[in-house]
Amino acid sequence: MPGKPHSLIVGGTRGIGRVLAEHFVKAGHRVSVIGRRSPEKKFPRGIRFWPADLLDAAKLRQTLTALIKRDGRLNSLICLQRFKSEGDQWEGEIATSLTATRQIIEQLSSQFVPGENNSIVLVSSAASNVIASEQGPGYHVAKAGLNQMARYYAVVLGPQGIRVNVVSPGTVLKPENRDFYLGNEKLQRLFKKTVPLGRMGTAAEIAEVIDFLSSAKASFITGQTLLVDGGVNLLSTETLARSLAG
């Protein structure tokens, strides 16, 4: 529908991406979602799903071309896809998070609405700065690479009026993991002890941050990485150790 901002979410069928897609629709956006698999639960009205294998550059190019032709030029692009499949995890993480993101930005940077507030938000991870033992090296390197990629494109695309920023979440409650975390009292006590705000974040809170960076309220912010982790990154090793020791 003309007049509504058009947002494209890459990796929006689950988790934060799904929550963000529904958030944008409620805020009056037209939303396109790219994902490898169809959503398990049907999207609400106002969200169009486009299947695409991000590891197939030729098919991804075709999908992006068809999407712009069908759904129109963009106001905002959000990339939060990650590799979840069998095969070489290093190659998969780099190809999915970095190579595909670069291709998407390069192809779509000329397809934003001219003269309007335009934004690209890349979703990284707190593991871009610290080591998350449950993740492999490819995940860490890919997420760190996204932070620098955003800085690069913030400079390159700034003259076109396109801002580029990163949201870097800590541990977040999502529809897919709520039962696990909320059902584990020991973990909940540890988060309360170690996170200055005393709890885990939520996918809805991350969506709000992405919405802010995509909006005109952030019209002079570009090239920044916003760490959204409840303040846990501020604590020293000794402070964390004392908290865990009780």
Q: Which domain holds residue 30?
A: 6-172+202-230
Residue 245 included in any domain = no
3-class SS at 86? coil
Query: With a threshold of 0.85, does the pTM exceed it?
Result: yes
* Model pLDDT for residues 50-102, shown as the tens digit of each residue: 999 999 999 999 999 999 999 999 999 999 999 988 878 999 999 999 999 99
pLDDT at position 118: 98
Contacts of residue 167, defined as CB under 8 A and 6 or more positions apart, other chains included, come to 121, 122, 123, 124, 206, 209, 210, 213, 225, 226, 228
Assess if residue 90 is contained within a domain.
yes
User: Do the domain assignments include residue 85?
Assistant: yes
How far from the centroid of its chain's Cα atoms is residue 60's Cα?
18
Say whether 30 sits in a helix, a strand or coil: strand
Residue 235: inside a domain: no
160's tokens: 């076109």
What are the percentages of helix, strand and coil residues in the chain, rounded to 5? Answer: 45, 20, 35
Q: What's the pLDDT tens digit per position in 34-56?
A: 999 999 899 999 999 999 999 99
What gap in Å lies between CA 148 and CA 164, rounded to an integer?
11
pLDDT in tens, 190-242: 999 999 999 999 999 999 999 999 999 999 999 999 999 999 999 999 999 99
Which spans in the chain are helix H? 15-26, 57-71, 89-93, 100-108, 137-157, 178-182, 185-194, 203-214, 237-245
Residue 2's pLDDT band, with cuts at 50, 70 and 90, is low
Check residue 88 and give its pLDDT: 87
- In this prediction, residues 122-141 reach a mean pLDDT of 94
Backbone φ and ψ for 32, nearest 5 degrees, come out as: -110, 140
Structure-token pair, residue 187: 């973990």
- What pLDDT does 140 receive? 97
The reported pLDDT for the residue numbered 87 is 79
In a domain, residue 185? The reply is no
- Given a cut of 80, is residue 246 above it in pLDDT? no
Coil, helix or strand for 240?
Answer: helix
Per the domain annotation, does 190 fall within a domain?
no
- Look at residue 45 and tell me if it is in a domain: yes
Residue 1 has pLDDT above 70, yes or no: no
**What pLDDT score does 27 carry?**
96
Report pLDDT for 85.
81
Domain count, the chain: 1
**Cα dihedral sign, 194-198-201-206:** negative
Q: CATH number for the domain including 223?
A: 3.40.50.720
As given in the structure block, the two tokens for residue 184 are: 């584990």
Q: Specify if 211 maps to a domain.
A: yes
